[in-house]
Structures are given as C-alpha cells and as structure tokens.
Chain A
Amino acid sequence: MIALRSRSIFPLTVAALAFLFLGLFLLYPVYSVFHVSFLDQAGGFTLDNYVRILGRSFYQQSLWNSLTIGALATIATTAIGVPLAFCLARLPVPGKSAILVLAALPLVLPSFVGAYALVLLFGRAGIVTQFLRDAGLPVGSIYGTPGLVWVYTLTLYPYVLLPTLAAFKAVDVSIEEAGQNLGASRWRVFRTVILPVVIPSVLSGALLVFMETLENFGVPFVLAEDKPILAVEAYKLFVGEVSANSASAGVLATLLIVCTTSALLLQRYYLGRRRFATGARSAPPELQVGRGWRALATVFVWGVALAALIPFFTVLVIAFMEYRGPVLHPHLSLGNFADLLHRSSRPLVTTITLATAAALGAAILGVPIGYVLTWFRSGVSHLLDILAMMPFAVAGTVLGIGLVVAYNSGPLVLTGTPVIMVLAYMVRKLPFNVRASSAILHQIDPSLEEASINLGVSPARTFIKLTVPLMLGGIVGGMVLTWVTIASELSSTVILYSPAWATMTVVMFEALEGTGAGIAAAAAAVLILATALPLLLVYRLLRRHELALM
C-alpha cells in the first residue's frame, strides 16, 4: 500500500507546487536581499556595505541589543513557563481549563498593543506614572531593555508553557514509579528523569521565543526609543527618512537571517540527538500537596495568566475614554471610535479581506504539504519538510524587504499591490499550517484511506472525498488561528503596504508615531475584539483537534 502510494503522482505534484511557490516568494526574495547587500552604487560586487555598516558602533550595538534582549526574554519566559506548566500538569489548581484558554490569548493578540498599553500606563506621560509622580514617588523608565523584556515575557510565555505542559503530561506514570522503586526520592526522579525528558520541549518553546523577539518589529518600535534594535534599524534604513538605502538594509537583514537561522539549526541539532519517545499510557496523577503549596500554585498560575492580559484590558478601557490631544480625561466616550471611523473604515475592511485571502491561501498550500509530510516518506518529503519550515527563520521585516526588492521591477511587478501582502502572509503562516495539518492527520487512522483505495477510489479522490472531510474541523480551526495572527501582523506589513491598502495595525502604528493615542487605542480595541471573538467561537473545534498555537 505504501509503495503504491509513494509511486503515485500526488506527492510529486504537491512538492512541485510547494517548491515553485516558496522558490518564487521566499527563496528568491531572500536571495535578493543577499544580492543587494553585496552591490555598490554602480551595481558591481562589493563588501563595502558590510564594512561600513558593521564598522559603525550604532549597528554593532543594534545586533548586541537584539541578542541580549532576546536572551533575557528567553530566560524569563522559561523561568515562568516551566513552573507554570508543572503546576498545570501536576498540581491541584482550580480552573485549569479556563487558564489554558487565557494562556493561549497573548500569542494571538497583537504584541505591540501590549507594548503600547505599557506605555499608556507606565510611559513618560502614562496614567500610573502621572499618578505616582503627583503622589511624589519617583518612577523608573520602562523604555529600553526592561520594558522590552517585560512585554516579551508576558506575551510570549505561552510558547514555553504549551509544549512543556504537553511534555509533562506525556511522561508515563510508570517512568516516575520505576525511579522511586529504584530508591530515588521524588525530587531526585524529577531532576534525573522527568526534567531531562521534558527539556527538549522546553528548548523548542524557548527557541520560538528567541526567534520571535529577534524578528519582532512593533514592540521595539514602541518601547525601544533610542536603543537600536536590528529589525527596526533594517526597516529605518530601508524606508529611509533621508534616502532609502536598500544595500545597507540588506546587510542588517542578512545579519538577522544569520541569527535566526543559527538558532533554528542549533535547536534542530540538539533535538535531533535527543528525541525521547515516552508514549504515555496513563498520564501521571496530580500530586497530593498541602494547602499552602496549593494556594501558592493557584496565585502563581492565575497571576501570570491575568498579568499577561491586563495590557489588553487596559487598552479596551482606554479606548472608551476621552482624549483631548495627547491628554487622557477620565470620562467615558465613544469619541476615539468616532475619530477612527471618521478617518476611514477602509483599514478594517482591508485587514479582514487580506487576512481572509491569506488564510485561505495558506490552508490550500499547507494542508496538502502536511499530508505529504505525514504519510509519504521519501527524499522529496524530507526536502519539503526543511523548505516548509524555512519561513520560520526569515523575519517579517526581511521577507518584506526581499519581496519589495525582488518584485519592484522586471516581468512581475507586485510592489505596492495587496497581492504582495497576501503572498507575504501566506509564506509566513505556512509552517504553522503545515504543522497543524500534520497534527490533524496523525489523529486519522491511515487504514481508513487504505480501505477507500482498496475499494477502488483513486488516492487523489480519496483525499478529497474522505480525508479532507475528516480533517475539515481541524482545517477550519487552523484557518481561524492563521486569520487572527495575520490580522495583527505588523513586521512585514509595515514594509509592504501602500497607503490605499493600510491595515489596522498600520493605522495604529501611524497613530503612535503621531499624537493620536486615542485613535490608536480605539484601533487596538477593534483589533483585539476582531481577533478574540473568532478565537472564542472556534475554541471547541481547536480543542477537539488538539491544535496548538505554534
């Protein structure tokens, strides 16, 4: 059966289409970024750009800042995520399922809204800052490293929490008992067996956090102030306040790719050497602990989950308050929304249209790839696996720059069109779609398909008539998640948008640059509601298909 399937034309067709798509809209743009970084004014080969950029301490500093802030955020999310996962897996904490819903939210809510909320509260003119200052208390600055690490930790901790929680639950109870039976105390078993088995999952989550901080554009744009950050400086060079400089931007983009790719390869290398299959038959039971421990765990778990959502609540509340210029007045008002809509309702329509198109496109491309990767084993599928995960290593800003450079002239001109934005989103969300459909497929018994083929239905027809309907719930759930994350995308959008096709995130971005704090809050509120509502609607679907947000 397997032999028959691997000879069929279906996987080859899927692979060919995937190679074509990613070749055109991922590899070629990335190549363009490399290429342009080695060009001089006349179009000849040169290393001058690298010498010039890397020689300036400002840009050295940006690399250093990006890496240290990323490292600090990774350490902080791990320090919070792992104990949190343990509490949820093994301790009697009330309201676990509610916690899991809340914990998944920060990943899909736009992170720079979180950053913005922090500025509104604790910034120079922040509400809390002013209150404290009036009370005569000095307030430290949240701009720069502390604020960035703070926001990253609270918005990205679920990346560590979710895989670690799954890993803690996947350690079969007999492993733990075997350790104790051999004379090791509970703590010793935890240290010598449970933790080592869980660590690969912790690391894969931690790595996601690190890559996310490297590529994030919105949070440092709001919070970094004078501190140079790689992704932001690449954008500034590319957009060019004085004159656009794509060669110099290309150098920074290349640096960014080198960083993210090394992190990805490091993780693959490490995980490749330690893959522990435990295959839990029975998940370990909750530990019997005293009332004190239980209270402590409850406070910790609920504290983190709520603290991560406070910024978003804050923005919702502020959006309904009255702003006169940059000054907040404590009256309820719909003025901000009136201002927002008075300008134009077009960004909202654009956001919905583009996100829908891209979510559809990513699913149409990602589901067949996930299918081929799950059920066909060959050299082609191995190559496809690597290729489909590559968008991970390319920051949104870099992909944006690459697409603009690659398609602003020549036979295919896409720069400035909404098509280029949709393509960028599709490329960026492909890894998630591929993984999600693999996860869904793993829950379907392959013998169902074999039975269908055995009964005379061709493999391609079987896929459409049997497999897709079985996967449908999962696919829809995955598409909603994709939609939601695209709606709050900023890092490639900010490079690719043209004024006619500005999205909600762009509106916020521009309002933040200016003085329209009220409008930005209203836009953020609209965005939060537009992302949270569909998520809550499909939540059951996601649970049934065990879809995670990564």
Chain B
Amino acid sequence: MTAIAIDGVVKRYGAVAAVAGISLAVRDGEFFTLLGPSGCGKTTLLRMVAGFADLDAGAIRFGERRIDTLPPHRRNTGMVFQNYAIFPNLTVAGNVAYGLKARGIEREAMAGRVERALKLVHLEGYDQRWPHQLSGGQLQRVAIARALVIEPEVLLLDEPLSNLDAKLRVEMRGEIRQLQQQLGITAIYVTHDQEEALAISDRIAVMRAGALEQVGPPAEIYSRPATPFVAEFMGTTNLLTGTVTGVAGERHRIAVGGLELVAHGSAHSAGSRVTFSLRPETLRLLLPGEALPPGWARFEAVVGRVELLGALTRIELVAAGDVALRLAMLDLPPEPVAPGRRVALAYDPARVTLFATP
C-alpha cells in the first residue's frame, strides 16, 4: 500500500521545539510505533502526518506523493483518537458512514461497506445504537471501524487504548494488531506504554524531547538499547556506572563501587567512566553446587526485600556493601532466598548493554 517518508520535520511552539528535525521511513504495511514519555513530541509528530499540526520545516510523503501541503481532509488517513471523538449526534452507522458520505459514495455501496466495517470490529447489530449507549470498548471499536471504512492509505492511532481498563487494553491491542495484519495497512501508533509498544509493533521509534532516541524492532530496542534513556524507559533495569579496569577484546572489567563486573561492548579504554544496563531477568541465582555456565560472570550479594507477584518474583539485592541491584525470576524463589541471606549470582556478559558514551 503506502510507505511513509518523514523528512527532517520540525515543529516549534514558541522557543520550544516539540519536534526537532525528525526523519523516519515507515515501510509499506508496517506497524510502526512512536513511543516516549508525555511531552516527547510523539503525538505532535502523528498530528503532523494527519495534518493537524503544521510543519515549520521538512516534508512528509506517502509513497512519492508529498502530503504535508494538503489540508487534513484531503490526506486520506484514518485516525483513531485518544478519546475516540465519536460524533454524539450520529448513530453508530452514521459515524461509520460519515467519511463515506464526505466522499460521495453511493447509498447502496455505503450500506454494505458500513456493515462490513462493523463486522470487522465485531459490532454487528449495533448500527442503530447511539454513542451514549455504548461502553468505552465499543466506542473504541466504532472509532476503528470509522477510520478503516474509508480505506485510508495509512492508519493513525493516538494512544487509542489509554482510556480502557487493563484487561480490555490487552484484548483490544491484539485485535488492532490482527486487523492491521489482515488488511496489510501501514499504521503509525502512538503510546507511552512500553509493554504495549513491544507487544504490537513491527518497529518502534523511542522519542525523547522532540528527537529520536532509537529506531528498531521490539527485540532490539529491548535487548540492545542505544542509550541509558531507552534502557530505563523500556522496562526496569539496573543502570550502573563504573570505571573500566581492564579490556580484553570486547570484554570489559568494570569496577562499580567495591564490586567488579564484566560487560561486553564496543571498546572503552581502561580508566574511563562507563554506564551499562543489566536487566533484572538477566541475573540468575546460582544454587549451592550449581556450576557456572562457560563465559558467565559470578558475584555475591545479600538479599533485601522479596516481592512475590505470582508468576514473577522480584528480589532486591545489595552487593559489595553499597551496590543496589534488582533481580527478576519466573516462579517462586528457591529455599535459600530470604532477607539477609547471602546468595551467589551469575549472568552472561554478552547480555549486558555497555553504552558508547558515559
């Protein structure tokens, strides 16, 4: 269908650049997510694609066609709004038919398309309902049907799930992903929820203060964060800073307080300060008598608080007197783990992310 090329776009509000020169290429049929904390410019960027925010510089193209000079109603994008923006004066069918009417589609063809769109979002039989009679989840489905029925070139979703409860959110994100795959439509999705972004996307762009921090597939963003910001934003991590004490190829020995750890990464010289990320689930408890896997590093720590979350257990640890660490493991912890006990820990240095800049 349509690839989207965003080329050096800038949006300033007074002295503040909400979007500070971003270039992106969204591939045809891709589910692309803009992820970041509030105020990072992700919604502004989406609204620039939809035409609700003007560009101060740069260009946006759908395929070869430049669209940022078109008025919003001529861009043929289907947008799903955060608060759904369902027209309160129209029925469900009226809402879905709205864009078709604006396009002058014939009556008979329109009825069929509205019906198919409602079927697509599992709202058969709701066509004559009024918006105030629907639940949040149903309104969401109407909003999606309304955006899809016009067969837009791209689908734009602005935090569409943030008003739903947790369970429905998980259900709906699965449905949105499935619909997008089924139709093969190019989609840009805005969210501040990293879990949602990981679950749903082909690729993610992590944004911060109006600029791109990292662009890549979910697995890469999570396991190979480009910056400490991305590492922290994508779930919990142990973000540690220390001094390099020895380098052997990509293997660095790093002193953090009184603790010596090992991390793989691009070359840093001995004596330099470095920051690295050690995900809690990368750390493993080493039971007494258990052998250390080849190439892994080992150290000891004292157990602090133990938090049982059902399927998951989180353990807070203190190593070398003052280095606080978090560990996460599936299932319940084995016998020796109790507050105050000394335990052995192991990890694969290849799974540690050593950042290029301190």
Contact = CB atoms under 8 A, between A and B. Distances in A.
Given A177-B52, A192-B98, A183 B87 contact: no
Interface string B63-79: 00000000111111111
A276 B77 contact: no
Interface of B: 50-52, 71-79, 81-83, 85-90, 98-99, 101-103, 132, 146-147, 150, 156
A177 B89 contact: no
B89 A276 contact: yes
Given A172-B83, A174-B83, A177-B81, A182 B88 contact: no
Given A177-B52, A177-B85, A184 B102 contact: yes
Contacts of B76: 183
B85 A180 contact: no
A181 interface: yes
Nearest to B76: A183
Nearest to B99: A182
Nearest to A275: B132
A240 interface: no
Given A177-B79, A177-B81, A277-B132, A183 B89 contact: no
B85 A184 contact: no
Interface string A265-280: 0000000001111100
Nearest to A280: B83
Given A181-B77, A183-B73, A184-B73, A174 B103 contact: no
B157 to A, nearest CB: 12
Contacts of A183: 73-74, 76, 99, 102-103, 150
B85 A276 contact: no
Chain A residues touching B, majority SS: helix
A278 B81 CA distance: 14
A182 B89 contact: no
13 contacts: A174-B83, A174-B85, A175-B85, A177-B50, A177-B85, A178-B86, A181-B79, A182-B99, A182-B147, A183-B150, A185-B102, A186-B73, A193-B90
B272 to A, nearest CB: 48
Contact of B81 (A178, A193, A196, A276): A178
Given A177-B72, A178-B87, A196-B89, A188 B81 contact: no
A-B pairs, top 3 by smallest CB distance, nearest first, are: A182-B99, A276-B88, A174-B85
Given A183-B103, A192-B98, 5 more contacts: A178-B146, A179-B73, A183-B99, A188-B73, A197-B89
Contacts of A197: 87-89
B98 A179 contact: yes
A7 interface: no
A172 B131 CA distance: 15
B140 to A, nearest CB: 13
Contacts of A179: 73, 87, 98, 102
Contacts of A184: 73, 98-99, 102
A166 to B, nearest CB: 16
A57 to B, nearest CB: 44
B13 to A, nearest CB: 13
A178 B85 contact: yes
Interface residues of A, number: 24
Contact of A178 (B51, B74, B75, B79): B79
Contacts of A185: 71, 73, 102
B146 A174 contact: no
A184 B73 CA distance: 6
B98 A182 contact: yes
Contacts of B132: 275, 277
A281 interface: yes
B83 A182 contact: no
A226 B255 CA distance: 104
A181 B78 contact: yes
Nearest to A278: B88
B203 to A, nearest CB: 24
Contacts of B77: 181
Interface of A: 172, 174-175, 177-186, 188, 192-193, 196-197, 274-278, 281
Contacts of A192: 98, 101
Given A181-B73, A274-B89, A188 B83 contact: no
A196 B94 CA distance: 13
Contact of A180 (B73, B88, B101, B147): B73
B72 A180 contact: yes
B339 to A, nearest CB: 37
A175 B87 contact: yes
B102 A188 contact: yes
B45 to A, nearest CB: 15
Contacts of B72: 177, 180-181
A193 B87 contact: yes
Contacts of A188: 73, 102
Contact of A174 (B73, B78, B81, B89): B81
A98 B103 CA distance: 43
B103 to A, nearest CB: 6
A277 B72 CA distance: 25
Contacts of A278: 88
Nearest to B87: A193
Nearest to B146: A182
A342 to B, nearest CB: 61
B84 to A, nearest CB: 8
Contacts of B99: 182-184
A31 B50 CA distance: 62
Contacts of B90: 193
A172 B73 CA distance: 18
B158 to A, nearest CB: 9
Contacts of B147: 181-182
A501 B2 CA distance: 82
B186 to A, nearest CB: 15
Contacts of A193: 87, 89-90
The CB with the most chain B CB atoms within 10 A, among A172, A186, A193, is that of A193
Contacts of B73: 179-186, 188
B98 A181 contact: no
Nearest to B156: A181
A274 B72 CA distance: 29
A278 B52 CA distance: 20
Contacts of B156: 181
B16 to A, nearest CB: 18
The CB with the most chain B CB atoms within 10 A, among A181, A183, A184, is that of A181
B217 to A, nearest CB: 29
B286 to A, nearest CB: 51
Contacts of A276: 88-89
B78 A281 contact: no
Contacts of B98: 179, 182, 184, 192
Nearest to A176: B85
Contacts of A281: 83
A194 to B, nearest CB: 9
A183 B70 CA distance: 12
The CB with the most chain B CB atoms within 10 A, among A172, A177, A183, A277, is that of A183
